[in-house]
Structure 1
Amino acid sequence: MTSFVAAVPIGHAVRHVEPETPTEELGPTMATPKRRMSRANTRSRRSQWKATKAELVGVTVAGQKHKVPRRLLKAARLGLIDLDRR
């Protein structure tokens, strides 16, 4: 099969072709605000957000016990992290 590509002169707009899949298959759309949120409201909302401490888990490497975050367990066991440096 050969495909035909139409030559479009420079400066002319190309018509946008909609995808064949219906929008329901693309998934839910994100909620967007109707109005701009004020600086005071934005800052008061952000001030309520708190980060949680990473829980430390005990790991034994080369006979020594260390406490590391759970997401770093594998790296600590493989020796990718210098646990003696603090």
Structure 2
Amino acid sequence: MMKQDLRSIRSVANIKKAFVDLLQEKPFEKIKVSEIARKAGIDRQTFYLHFVDKYDLLDKMNKEFLQVYKTILVERLEGDNSFALETY
């Protein structure tokens, strides 16, 4: 069971990296799921086990980025009452 979890984690990481690499080469609209899968070294079916489509992938990556950014911001501002985070 743990081996499958590690494989899933690795697959998702490879998908995200492949997607970012492809975004550096061409516009989002031109990227196909089959290209992401090929670059990630997985089958398209594996991509679809983790994401509905490339829009879902983009949405989930954006949400992860925003959560990481928020966490860092809160940690840096912790104890600094001169800045009200709620106003943003």
| TM-score, length basis structure 2 | 0.23
Query: More relative contact order in 1 or in 2 (CA 8 Å, sep 6+)?
Result: 2
| TM-score, length basis structure 1 | 0.23
**Bigger strand fraction:** 1
**Bigger helix fraction:** 2
